[in-house]
Chains A and B, each alone.
Chain A
Amino acid sequence: MIQCEFNRRQFLQWTGASAFAALSAQLSLENLASAASFSPLPPKTPILVLVTLYGGNDGLNTVVPFTDPTYQSARSNIALSASQLLPFTDVLAFNASMPSISTLYGENKVAIVQGVSYPNPSLSHFSSMAIWQSASLLADVTSGWIGRWLDRQPHSPFNAIGVGSTLPPLMVGEKSVASMVDVGGIQLPWGPVASLLPRLGRPSASDAPLEAAAATSITDLYSTAQAFGSLVPTSPTGSSLGQQLSLVSVLINANVPTRVWEVNLSSFDTHAGEQLDQNALLSQVDGAIGAFMTSISAGSRSNDVTVMVYSEFGRRVMSNASDGTDHGTSAPVLLIGNAVHGGLYGEQPPLNDLDPNGNLQVTTDFRSVYGGLLHDVLATPVGDVIPSWNSALSVH
């Protein structure tokens, strides 16, 4: 069954963040190849790759407390059976759709931070994703946490890059915004007018900001087409997330001077028919991350890369009659990398001690996870990016 999706486009639209995106550079692969050649990222510089799962991934069917009797009784219609599990402790198992991540865990390269959310979690996709992306519980903070980190870096369009065509708010700062790079094949305009169209992409002094953005979109098409070919297939194949992470691995291995990358996948809003859909989505995440880590491990930046996988919330402990789950609260965050100290962090919230809405308690604040990444990966004091916050959970 196709789920009613919550995805990045929707989030952008509701936050109004697209207005900022008009100022974001759409980088062509040519720009990136040139940057990698003239100012390559210095060796051993840590790199952060954010994997945003839009819609609210069900943490309890991702990292599964399979021996807890409440797990079976509260969600008997969607509880995973023994053949659908890859146990890694006496009481916890990965969803069997995640064989690559399970293997990486066995190699001590996956940190699982348990019970992650924030005080009084919002059950709204939009509010909760805004909190995660801004790293603030205050609605009037519109800048993103990576955006505020960007504000503190020497200006460069290469510091942080999102894959896709629209910029997520987490990469919008008060002064700076990240850049974007698109995945996809290119067919240039043809016919007599073709020679004139590139000229429509030039800026004009009288352009309103959105007209300037429209002009830029024309130039982007031509510059991307020019650069495509040697680095990336013209028509990428494989899953959506697989294509995104494949592009990122190529660019990281080429020493593009970028410290933060963002990729994303939608459709985790599994109100009905959850098992089939979530297993397929987790399989896509697992395949994409497995291939990404293989590629990175074979390159010169094997120990530089840390991947964070997160969603705006987990889901209700008790399943619904539609074989799905409604919106919930805390869930595990995965941190993956060859330099990560794998294992369990934080506490698994008990399934028999829920909040008044029937949701899991919060045992780890996501800002502590960000704190660890800011300190260990981005070498920035936590309080500079998340005001009046100083807790950092280190997995390095």
Chain B
Amino acid sequence: MKSNTGLVFALPALIVLFMLIAYPVFYTGWLSVTNDQGQFTGLQNFSAVLRPRVTTQALWNTLWWVAGSIFFQVLLGVTAAILLNQNFMGRALVRSIALIPWVIPGIVAATTWAWMFHTEFGIINYMLTSTGALDEPVGWLTRSNTVMPAMIAINVWKLFPFVAIMVLAGLQTIPQELYEAARMDGASYWEEVRHVMLPQIRPVITAVTLLLVIWALNAITIIYAITRGGPANRTVITPIQIFRLAFENVEFNQAAALSVMFFAVVMLIVLAYIKAFASQPGEVQ
């Protein structure tokens, strides 16, 4: 058996992606070490972009954003998947409903949620105050301690169906014998979940988590559409800063420098992830 057969299988995809990505990668790298006249400036763009206060703030916000989003997306997604794996009447309908937050276009979801969260027009405040749960309307998007959690909540709502669908697909491929074996040992349902389901879907969960990290690090639609990174940079994350640099400030060189740094960090995370979970069963020598 040729040891390169695997590479041959992967080649078409690699070629297509290479053709599309090679030039942008090179272009970005070139931009990051030149100025807007095309002259070589070394690391000047990098230091210029690290200097302002907002860069550090964005990094911290990004950390919160990613950690908060992923934790709840995975938790809710897996729970929903387990639920949807059950056999009950109307299951098909509930599964389709569960898909809806993901299907709604990002910009529409963002503006609808902003509308619902609005201090004066929002249905959320209205329902909470009219049922007496709150005395006064809460400025969800205007108070520094609620604005980022609100953004995270919207991001979780939008993407947990993705996790649910992916994990559900994984649950569906669990062979029947594993359940039977567990049952012969007298396992209860929850023990089944812990000892049969979760281990089997571990590869899916790890793959999904990595994707969620990448998405969270790249997603600007929700935050940009609602708060633009405000108020006072409370919700600005690094991808938004890159977007601002490139398109609002027309500082393409600095945007490229920030992209390069960002990309390097994420690549490291990805490589670490792949190496850590590389030893999986099911491979041909």
Q: Tell me, yes or no, whether A binds B.
A: no
